[in-house]
Chains A and B, each alone.
Chain A
């Protein structure tokens, strides 16, 4: 067969096939009721939980970064729940491929890795957008977080950038799963780590120095800061810096994901860990 006659999937086709098909291979995406549960139930219960803790501790009305502690916590958890639909779900897709024995077939295909991994991020990005939006609606309607109409455009930009950054981070961890038996472990770690290190429940300044630096390495920290700044109606000057930081976190995450997938793909092929779960 001549070179020209060898069939090759285009970038766009690989992207769309992975965008639509890959999520359906994972249990968490297979059922619409679970997707709806992720979007509507998890943010509400997580917000209720931490705001009750704040109420018990007696500091609900303490002022924190321009919000009351209760509003601060509600808003932080509204955004933090994006970790389920981005990091956790994307890791799960990789694990599921390994368990079903389909990862080897994907890796042996000539499909563009860039299209493949970016495609896999599309549905999680959409679900992440929905999750943060619903979380913010709860924060506004149930927890008294002040969101003015004029803040909505800036808020939308912050939310979109955060969703991209978080899914990129999920892809990054998913790449490590090629080498590890499972990436859900990493998903779990970062699910918890976000609660502590990203300023979800209290400002980063409350943490000891080294932990603060760890927090700055997480995309959620920057995304949350941008969303809080937008809610508080801060000007484009300070918002722009935060947006740039979130965009950089997204770019670094996606870029590192692609690089890591290549590294771990080679490593996994060398060690045979692709077939282990």
Chain B
């Protein structure tokens, strides 16, 4: 008997479709997904109000990052946590496609909802300020904003492995939420942090990407001293490293959970 051949691309699209179906079946998550960006936008606006001519850009980027962190990064892992709660992690892991490709589908969904969050932040901050920020190159801003989202997605993929690894991942991520905000410099440049924390921050692709975005959209911005292009290169390199390592990390995590036998725990 010839077995069917599982396709990774198809598994990813099936996972994306499942995320959409589950969202439609239970759209109440739309509420925090929409309220959080509004709150982050207003808090950020209020905190940065009056900080130079480009405070609006700071406010949008900071609130956008906080919002996308929740929806893109945390959301990707949370969906795996839900697999544990539903008891579907075991049958999904038992399927022939590596679980990584199921996670990818969810990350794509979370990127889409993260973009919605980013858009809400923009509208809220612009609404509060009574006008749009002064952007030297709006197209570059949008493109780089999407790129920041991709770097977050890359981190989200790796973070999802943590949720496969242990049922406690959500709590650990909750405890580390603000530490992550600090470390990645989502509201302020990491150069403001003590020097010894900088190497840690540089392991995160979003830190590089966001710094590049600030260079491109805030004239006179002083972030990492090496400027826009090295930042962009750093973001590409770290993102590629995360994606390249994801397969190996998932493989190791899968071996670990099969050894420990905790797939059914929640």
Contacts and interface: CB of A to CB of B under 8 A. Distances in A.
B167 interface: yes
Interface string A78-97: 00000010001000000000
Contact of B35 (A49, A84, A193): A193
Given A185-B28, A188-B32, A196-B39, A57 B182 contact: no
Interface in A189-234: 189, 192-193, 195-196, 201-202, 206-207, 211
A257 B243 CA distance: 47
A37 interface: yes
A105 interface: no
B178 A201 contact: no
B170 to A, nearest CB: 8
Interface of A: 27-28, 31, 34, 37-38, 41-42, 45-46, 48-50, 52-59, 84, 88, 99, 180-182, 185, 188-189, 192-193, 195-196, 201-202, 206-207, 211, 277
Nearest to B175: A37
Contacts of B47: 50, 53-54, 57, 201-202
Nearest to B35: A189
A192 B35 contact: yes
B171 interface: yes
Q: Which range contains the number of B residues in contact with the other chain?
A: 35 or more
Contact of A41 (B28, B50, B175, B181): B175
Contacts of B46: 201-202, 206-207
Contact of B31 (A41, A57, A189, A277): A189
Contact of A189 (B32, B40, B187): B32
Contacts of A188: 32, 36
Contacts of A53: 47-48, 62, 187-188
Contacts of B175: 34, 37-38, 41-42
Contacts of B167: 27
A42 B178 contact: yes
B49 to A, nearest CB: 8
B55 A181 contact: no
Given A181-B26, A195-B43, A56 B32 contact: no
Contacts of A192: 32, 35-36, 39-40
Given A27-B171, A59-B51, 17 more contacts: A27-B170, A38-B175, A45-B178, A45-B181, A46-B178, A48-B178, A52-B192, A52-B193, A53-B62, A55-B188, A56-B192, A181-B26, A182-B28, A185-B29, A188-B32, A189-B31, A193-B39
Given A189-B32, A206-B46, A52 B182 contact: yes
B181 A49 contact: yes
A37 B142 CA distance: 37
Given A34-B175, A201-B43, A99 B266 contact: yes
A57 B179 contact: no
Nearest to B174: A84
A3 to B, nearest CB: 41
A56 B187 contact: yes
A216 to B, nearest CB: 17
